[in-house]
Amino acid sequence: MPKPFSPPSPKVAVLVYDGLCTFEYGIAVEVFGLPRPELGPGWYRLATCAVEPGPMRACGGLRVEADHGLEGLDDAGLVIVPGWKGPDVLPPAPLVEALRRAHARGARLMSICSGVFVLAAAGLLAGRRATTHWRYAERLTAAYPDIVFDPDVLYVDEGQVLTSAGSAAGLDLALHLVRRDHGPKIANHVARRLVLPAHRNGGQRQYVERPVASERSRLSELLDAMRGRLDHPWTIGELARRAAMSERTFNRRFIEATGSAPGAWLASVRIDRARELLEAGDLSIEDVARRSGFGSPATLRHHFRRQLGVSPTDYRDRFGLQARAAGLA
């Protein structure tokens, strides 16, 4: 569940270093660095900040020279660590100090994949939930036992500090941040530009088993039916019958295919639909609750506060205005 947090500025500082993970760096640029004039003046501003003097090497035989050094972190609202040289390579003291200063003044800090080791070495994950690529799990927990490590998720949002699993999960976390800052309509717009699914919940597993082909087909049709009838009172018994499985087998196969239990998956899809309706701003809370499948305003409020930490009315007041200002509502 994301914790409410407002960044101090729209500037995004992405770190580069010798041995730069090129794909992870590209994620930051694609989501936060491309000009998007259609989204209004409040969009992010990206600055590339060198950890050490250049030119630096990057994966793929590239050389990198950055426009800024670590001083570029001083006024950033978000600092991104796109991977790191290796789990056993400690970050240099100037970088650790710059990250601690950024955290102390309220900047958000985000790591992709092995970048978590930099945040951990800076002491910024102690007592917090965090994740990383599954292949680094044992090394992270051994080196930093004070981290509340979550091994089986795509990303973790702790409000001011955010961590993602493998490289592609960095895209999910980046879109999650856009969603937090600008609402689902704009996040969906960015996802379409990237030709990506609009939203993968951070609680999904890093990897899931695949059902056999015939089961995938039945589950795919069933997921479409659930999305198409969010106001229907779906039960495990009905879903299992439609999938031609026992309830126990259905539960297991559903989790294997989606990474979530049926009830959690359905609640997440209903929340997404409610967000879209609230952004449009032309329906009452009662209508939003009904059309998104929650039935009553009380149930809608319960799920909104549980998953997002805000009420539906507060969400509409903030993100409905943002979407209309960007011309997307």
Same domain, yes or no, for 41 and 151?
yes
Report the domain count for the chain: 3
pLDDT at 112: 97
Q: Round to whole Å and give the CA distance between 52 and 95.
A: 9
Same domain, yes or no, for 31 and 154?
yes
Helix (H) or strand (E) holding 164: strand 161-164
pLDDT at 39: 82
Would you say residue 24 lies in a domain? yes
**Nearest CA among 271, 281, 273, 270 for reference residue 316:** 281
Would you say residue 107 lies in a domain? yes
Same domain, yes or no, for 274 and 168?
no
End-to-end Cα spacing for the chain:
25
pLDDT at 28: 96
Beta strands 108-112; 78-82: pairing state: parallel
pLDDT at 6: 56
Among 194, 222, 250, residue at a domain's last position: 194
Would you say residue 113 lies in a domain? yes
In contact, 292 and 270? CB cutoff 8 Å: yes
Same domain, yes or no, for 65 and 106?
yes
In this predicted model, what pLDDT tens digit does every residue of 176-199 receive, in sequence order?
A: 899 888 887 788 888 888 877 655
Task: Report residues of the chain scoring pLDDT below 50.
Answer: 1-4, 202-214, 323-326, 328-329
In this predicted model, what pLDDT tens digit does every residue of 221-234 receive, in sequence order?
A: 888 899 889 989 99
Same domain, yes or no, for 233 and 279?
no
Same domain, yes or no, for 281 and 190?
no
pLDDT at 2: 44
Beta strands 62-64; 78-82: pairing state: unpaired
Joined together, the tokens standing for residue 226 give 């659930």
pLDDT at 207: 43
Among 162, 194, 226, residue at a domain's last position: 194
Same domain, yes or no, for 77 and 190?
yes
pLDDT at 214: 47
Would you say residue 3 lies in a domain? no
Same domain, yes or no, for 185 and 285?
no
Would you say residue 6 lies in a domain? no
The neighbour count for residue 296, using CB atoms within 10 Å, is 12
- Domain span at 67: 11-194
Same domain, yes or no, for 64 and 83?
yes
Quote the DSSP letter at residue 156: E
C-alpha dihedral (300, 186, 196, 66), degrees to nearest 10: -130
Same domain, yes or no, for 247 and 273?
no
The domain that holds 274 is classified in CATH as 1.10.10.60
Would you say residue 299 lies in a domain? yes
**Nearest CA among 264, 235, 265, 262 for reference residue 251:** 262
Same domain, yes or no, for 271 and 241?
no
From the centroid of its chain, how far is CA 299? 25
The domain that holds 165 is classified in CATH as 3.40.50.880
Would you say residue 222 lies in a domain? yes
pLDDT at 168: 85
Same domain, yes or no, for 20 and 141?
yes
3-state secondary structure 264-308: HHHHHHHHHHHHHHHHHCCCCHHHHHHHCCCCCHHHHHHHHHHHH
pTM over 0.85: no
Would you say residue 203 lies in a domain? no
pLDDT at 255: 83
